[in-house]
A and B are shown apart, each in its own frame.
Chain A
C-alpha cells in the first residue's frame, strides 16, 4: 500500500499516561477529551481533523498507550524480513493477524494510522527519568518507517530532558518540548512548524493549517472584542424603567428598581462570560468563587473598583477634567503613572470604595407618562469609573480564557497576575475612550460609528498587548 495521502496525518503515541490526550486536546482546542491520572482512558484511537469548510487540512489521532510492547516486538523479530524496507509490511501483517485479538487491541489502534501513512508524534514525560523499557516502543515505531518526532512533556516538577534527548535523538528526527498545560497559541504554531519539517510533502498543508489557525485566532480576538464592546455599551447605556403608582416613588419601589437594575447588569456580565467561553471553545469552565469573583458581588465591590477601575487620584483628575472641559474629553494620562488595574495584592485603594458606593453610580428619575402615569427610571450609569471596571474585568476574563489550554481540566483561577489595564491602553486611547464614555453617560444613543470606533480602539490596543505578551 502506498503511504501517499492527500493530507498529513499524525498519530500521537507513547507509553500510557504520558499526556498524549492532553497534547491532542491542546492542539485541537477540544476540551471534551477525557484526561486523567488513570492509564487507559483512551481506549480507541480518536480522530481530530483540522477542517476548513469541511475540507481536511491535517488530521491528528489520539491513541491508546502501548500495553504489550515486548510481545509485539518479539513477534516482529520472529517475522523479521530480509530487508529494512519490508519491515512496515511485517507490522501490517501483525495488525492483520491480531485484529480480533483483544490482547493487542490498544497496539492495533495506535499502529493502524501509522501504517496507513500517519506521521509519528511520540510523547514522553520528561519530568521523569528515562528508562530502557521505552526503547522497545521506539523500536516498534521505527519498524513502521514513518516520519517521526518526539515531544517532551513536562508533567511533573523535575526535569530529565537532557537524558531523554540523548536517547530520543537516536530514534527521532526531531525532539521538541511542549507543555500542553501551559502552551499558548505561539507554542502551538511552533510545534506545527516543526511537524511541517517531518515530511517535505506535508509542508504545504501544514503551512496552510498554520495560516488558517492564525486567522482563526485573530478572528476569535476580534469576536471577543466585539462582544466585550457590545456588552460595555449595553451596560453603560442601560436604563431600567418601572411604572409607579403614585406621584413619587416609594422607598420600596426605589429599592426594587435598584435591585433589578443591578441584576440586569450582572446578567449582562454573565452573558458576556458565556459568549467569551463559547468563542474560545471553553464551555463549562469551572471558576473559583473565592478568587477574583466575577459575579454579582464582584461587579459592584470596592475590590473590583480598586483592581479594575481608575485609582483614586485618577478619579479625581478625571472628575475635575470632566467638570472643566465636559464633552471635549479627558486626558487620563494626566494621572501619570497611575494604574487602571492595581495589583490584587495591593488591595483596596482607600477612598475609591466610597466613591464607588452603588447609590452614587446612577441617576434615578421619576418621569411623567401618558394618561398621567408616572415612571421610575434608573440609569444610565453615571459613575466615571464604571466603564473602566467593566472593560478591565471583561478584558481580563477574555485574556484568561483565551490563554487557557484546552488540556486543562482544573478550576480557572481568576487572580490578577500583573495584568494592568494601563499596559493595554496608551494615553491617547484612554482619551478617546473617555470621549465615548462621556457620550454614553449622557444617554446618547450609540451610533454605528461610535461602536466601531470603540471596537477599533479596544482591538488595536488589545492586539498590541497580546502580541507583546
Chain B
C-alpha cells in the first residue's frame, strides 16, 4: 500500500495509539520494513508513519480518530462560524454611526490592536509557564469556557467511549493553537465588516478620550501603531491635520461644525483602521498561529514517539534481525511404546550360537562371566566384519541364537539388515537379543535404552525375535 502522506497528524497519532494496543509487529517484520525504506532511516517519525500505513488494516473496529476528528471538525466549524459572525457583528457595532457623534476610533483600536496583543501575550505566558500557572492564563480566554460548555453538552458521552491519549501539555497547546485560529477568523470578520461599512455607509471617524492627550501626542501614538506600513503605504497613516480635525468632545452632544464641514476628509481614517486590523489582528495573529501550530506539531511528535510500544518498534527498526532457527518447521515423529513382553536369559540353556554385535570374542568372554551364559560357539558380527562375512554367518546359523548388543547404541539399519537375514534363515528357531550396559554399570542396561531396542524390534513383526530383560 502506498503512503499518500507521511506527515504526522492528530489522525496518525490516534491511529498509532489504537494500533499499538492491538499489534506491535515482530522484530523481523519491523526490521524488514526499515530496510525496505532505507531512505527514511534517519526520519523515525516518517518510518513509523510508514509502519502505521502498512499495518493499520489490522484495526478492524472503527477508528477512534474518525470519531474524534468528526467531533473536532463539527466543533471547529461551529466555533469558526461563530467567531466569524461574532467578529462581523462586533465590527458592525463598533462602526455604527448614529449621526449624533462620530465613530470613536479609540474603541476600534482597542479591539483590533490592543486586544490581539494582549491575547497573544497571555497565550505566550500560558505556553512558557508549565502546570497550574500556565493553566491560569488559559482560563483567561473566553474560549476556554465556551469549549467546556460545548464539550459538556455535545460531546461528553460520545468522547467518553474511548480514551483520548493526549497529555495535558498537548491539550493546552492544542487549545492555544485553536484560540489563535478562532481569533484570526474573528478578526477577518471585523475586517470584512469594516470594508462593508465603509463601502455601504458614510462613516465619520473621530477620536475622543477623557484623558488629556494633545493632538501631537495622539499623532505620535498613531504613528507608532502605523510604523510597520508607514513607508510602503503612507496614505494609511493619518496626518496631523486629520487627527486635529477628528478630535471631538461629547460635551456638545453634537458633531462639531468643523467636523461637518470636513466630513469627506474624516472618512480617510478607514485606511489606517483597515491596515491596523490587517497587521495586528490578522498578520500578527496569523504568524502567531503558525508558531503555535509548529509548537503543537513538535509536541505531537514528542508524544507520538513516546507512545507505549513505539520505542520497541524504533529499536527493532535499528537493530539487525538475527535469526538462528530453522526456517522450515520439522515434522515430528509419533513415537509409540512397545507392548511386547521381555524374556529372561537362560543361563546354560542350549543356545546353538552366541553372537556379539560389535563385540570382540575377548569382550564376549568377559560378558559371559558376568551374565553366566555358556555357549561354545561364539562369533563376532558387525564391527570390523564385512557385510559379506556377516551375511555368511547369518545363513549358517541354526536353532536358538543369543545376540549380545550394546544397549546404548540404538539398532541401526545395518543391524536390522543382519537380523532380517537371521530371521529369514529357517534353520534358526529363536533369536534372543541381550542388550548389555557398559562395564561401568556391570552390563546392566538403562530402561530407556532397552525401550529403544524394543520399539525397533517391534517393527520387524517377527515371532522369532525376543528381547532379554536386563534392567
Tell me the chain A residues, 99-140 only, with Cβ under 8 Å from chain B. Answer: 103, 106, 125, 128-129, 131-133, 135
In the assembled complex, the CB of A458 is this many whole angstroms from the nearest CB of chain B, namely: 17
Q: Are A133 and B31 in contact (CB under 8 A)?
A: no
Task: Out of A29, A128, A133, name the residue touching B324 (CB < 8 Å).
Answer: A29
Q: Which residue of A lies closest to B384 (CB)?
A: A132
Q: Does A39 belong to the interface (CB within 8 Å)?
A: yes
- Interface residues of B, CB < 8 Å — how many? 47
Cα(A15)–Cα(B32), bound, Å: 40
- Residue of B438, B449, B455 touching A158 (CB-CB under 8 A): B438
B438/A74 in contact, CB under 8 A = no
Which of A15, A30, A52, A128 touches B438 (beta carbons < 8 Å)? A128
Nearest B residue to A30 via CB reads B325
Complex Cα distance, B415 from A70, in Å, reads 10
Interfacial chain A residues near B451, Cβ < 8 Å = 37
In whole angstroms, what is the CA distance A423 to B368 when docked? 56
The answer to whether the Cβ of B330 comes within 8 Å of any Cβ in the partner chain is: yes
Count of A-B residue pairs with CB < 8 Å:
130
The answer to the question of A219 belonging to the interface, with a C-beta cut-off of 8 Å to chain B, is yes
**Chain A proximity of B388: nearest CB distance (Å):** 8
Expressed in whole angstroms, the minimum distance between the Cβ of B22 and any Cβ of chain A is 16
A128 — which chain B residues lie within 8 A by C-beta?
406, 408-409, 438
A48, B326: Cβ atoms under 8 Å?
yes
Q: Which residues of B contact A103 (CB under 8 A)?
A: 413
**A50 neighbours in B (Cβ, 8 Å):** 322-324
Most buried by A among B306, B326, B438, B446: B326
Residue A32 contacts which of B325, B358, B448 (CB distance < 8 angstroms)? B325
Give the size of the chain A interface in residues (CB under 8 angstroms).
51
In the complex, chain B residues whose CB is within 8 Å of the CB of A65: 412
CB–CB B333/A46 < 8 A: no
* CB atoms of A48 and B412 under 8 A apart: no
Indicate if the CB atoms of A133 and B327 lie closer than 8 Å. Answer: no
Closest to A230 in B: B308
In the assembly, what is the distance between CA of A219 and CA of B325, in Å? 17
Measured CB to CB, the nearest residue on chain A to B414 is: A68
B417 touches A68 (CB 8 A): yes
Whether the pair B412, A16 counts as a contact (CB closer than 8 A) is yes
Whether a CB of chain A sits under 8 angstroms from the CB of B39 is no
Say whether A36 contacts B410, CB under 8 Å. no
Do A34 and B332 have beta carbons less than 8 Å apart? Answer: yes
- Contact with B414, one of A71, A129, A156, A158 (Cβ below 8 angstroms): A71
B31 contact set on A, CB distance < 8 A: 53
Question: In the complex, which residues 18-43 of chain A have their Cβ closer than 8 Å to any Cβ of chain B?
Answer: 27-30, 32-34, 36-41, 43
Within 8 A of B (CB), among A50-98: 50-54, 65-71, 74
What separation, in Å, do the CA atoms of A212 and B324 have in the docked complex? Answer: 11
Q: In the complex, which residues of chain A have a beta carbon less than 8 angstroms from the beta carbon of B411?
A: 39
Q: Mark out the residues of chain B between 328 and 352 whose CB falls within 8 Å of any chain A CB in the assembled complex.
A: 328-330, 332-333, 335
A417 CB-CB contact with B under 8 Å: no
Chain A CB count within 10 A is highest, among B324, B327, B406, for: B324
* Chain B residues positioned under 8 Å from A66 (CB to CB): 412
Task: Output the least CB separation between B386 and chain A (Å).
Answer: 6
Contacting pair A52 B413 (CB below 8 A): no
A216 contacts the other chain (Cβ, under 8 Å)? Answer: yes
**B321 touches A (CB below 8 Å):** yes
Q: Check A46–B414 contact: CB distance below 8 A.
A: no
State whether A51 and B322 are in contact (beta carbons under 8 Å apart), knowing that A41-B333, A448-B306 are contacts in the complex: yes
Please state if A52 and B322 are interface contacts (CB–CB under 8 Å).
yes
Task: Report A136 CB to chain B, min CB distance, Å.
Answer: 8
Do A48 and B387 have beta carbons less than 8 Å apart?
no
Give Cα distance in the complex from A170 to B143, angstroms.
Answer: 90
A212 touches B439 (CB 8 A): no
In the bound complex, CA of A34 to CA of B324 (Å): 16
Q: Is the CB of A158 within 8 A of B440?
A: yes
A34 — which chain B residues lie within 8 A by C-beta?
330, 332-333
A242 interface contact, C-beta 8 A: no
> A343: CB under 8 A from chain B?
no
In the complex, whether B319 has a CB less than 8 A from a CB of chain A is yes
A residues within 8 A CB of B413? 67-68, 103, 106
A335, CB-defined interface residue at 8 Å: no
- Which of A27, A66, A67 counts the most chain B CB atoms within 10 A? A67
Least CB distance from A285 to B in Å reads 16
CA distance A133 to B412 in the complex (A): 12
Known: A53-B320, A132-B383. A43 touches B333 (CB 8 A): yes
B142: shortest Cβ distance to chain A, in Å? Answer: 24
Please measure, in the bound complex, the distance between the C-alpha atom of A156 and the C-alpha atom of B321, giving whole angstroms: 37
Q: Would you call B326 and A37 a contact (CB within 8 A)?
A: no
- Alpha-carbon distance between A27 and B449 when the two chains are bound, in angstroms: 26
- Across-interface contacts of B412 in A (CB, < 8 A): 15-16, 39, 65-69
Q: Does A268 reach chain B (CB closer than 8 Å)?
A: no
In the complex, which residues 13-33 of chain B have their Cβ closer than 8 Å to any Cβ of chain A? Answer: 31-32
Cα(A43)–Cα(B441), bound, Å: 31
User: With A32-B329, A67-B413 in contact, do A129 and B448 touch (Cβ < 8 Å)?
Assistant: no
How many angstroms between the C-alpha atoms of A17 and B410 in the bound complex?
7
Contact B326–A46 (Cβ < 8 Å):
yes
> A327 on the interface (CB 8 Å rule)?
no
* CB of B134 closer than 8 Å to a CB of A: no
A131 touches B387 (CB 8 A): no
CA distance A102 to B40 in the complex (A): 53
* Complex-state Cα separation, A212 to B414, whole angstroms: 42
A215–B31 Cα distance when bound, in Å, is 16
User: Contacts of A68 on B, CB cut-off 8 Å?
Assistant: 412-414, 417
Is B267 among interface residues, defined by CB-CB distance under 8 A? Answer: no
What residues on A are CB-neighbors of B455 within 8 Å?
A: 38
Q: Mark A313-333, 1 if CB is under 8 A from B, else 0.
A: 000000000000000000000
Q: Cα distance A34–B31 when bound, in Å?
A: 29
- What residues on A are CB-neighbors of B414 within 8 Å? 67-71
User: B residues 415-471 with Cβ under 8 Å of A?
Assistant: 417, 438-441, 446, 448-449, 451-452, 455-456
Complex formed: what's the CA distance from A68 to B415 in Å? 8
Cα–Cα distance between A15 and B383 once the two chains are bound (Å):
13
Q: How far is the CA of A30 from the CA of B383 in the complex (A)?
A: 35
Establish whether residues B325 and A28, one from each chain, have CB atoms under 8 Å apart when the complex forms. Answer: yes
Contact A28 B330 (CB under 8 A): no
Q: Which residue of B lies closest to A69 (CB)?
A: B414
Q: Complex Cα distance A128/B438, Å?
A: 7
- Give the contacts of A341-399 with B (CB-CB under 8 A): none
Of the candidates A33, A39, A74, A216, the one whose C-beta lies within 8 Å of that of B330 is A33
Contacts of A132 in B (CB 8 A): 358, 383-384
Measured in the bound complex, the distance between the Cα atoms of B413 and A39 in whole Å is 11
A48 touches B439 (CB 8 A): no
- Tell me the smallest distance from the CB of B129 to a CB of chain A, in Å: 19
Interface positions of A from 248 to 280, Cβ below 8 Å from B: none
Q: Separation in Å of the B312 CB from the closest CB of chain A?
A: 8
A49 at the binding interface (Cβ < 8 Å): yes
- In the bound complex, CA of A244 to CA of B449 (Å): 65
When A36-B335, A67-B412 are in contact, do A47 and B326 touch as well, CB less than 8 Å?
yes
Contact check, B333 vs A32: say whether CB atoms are below 8 A apart. no
B328 touching A129 by the CB < 8 A rule?
no
A103 to B412: give the CA distance in the assembly, Å.
12
**Could you say which of A15, A158, A212 contacts B409, with CB atoms under 8 Å apart?**
A15
| Chain A neighbourhood of B388, CB < 8 A | 74
Given A52-B321, A158-B440, A219-B319, 19 extra CB contacts under 8 A:
A15-B409, A17-B410, A29-B325, A32-B329, A36-B335, A38-B452, A39-B411, A48-B326, A49-B323, A53-B31, A66-B412, A67-B413, A69-B414, A70-B385, A74-B387, A131-B358, A156-B446, A158-B438, A448-B306
* 12 residue pairs bridging A and B, Cβ less than 8 Å apart: A16-B412, A38-B333, A38-B455, A39-B410, A48-B324, A50-B323, A53-B31, A53-B320, A54-B32, A66-B412, A69-B414, A70-B386
Question: Nearest 7 pairs between A and B by C-beta?
Answer: A39-B410, A67-B413, A30-B325, A51-B323, A28-B324, A34-B332, A17-B410
Q: Which residues of B contact A (CB under 8 A)?
A: 31-32, 35, 306, 319-330, 332-333, 335, 358, 382-388, 406, 408-414, 417, 438-441, 446, 448-449, 451-452, 455-456
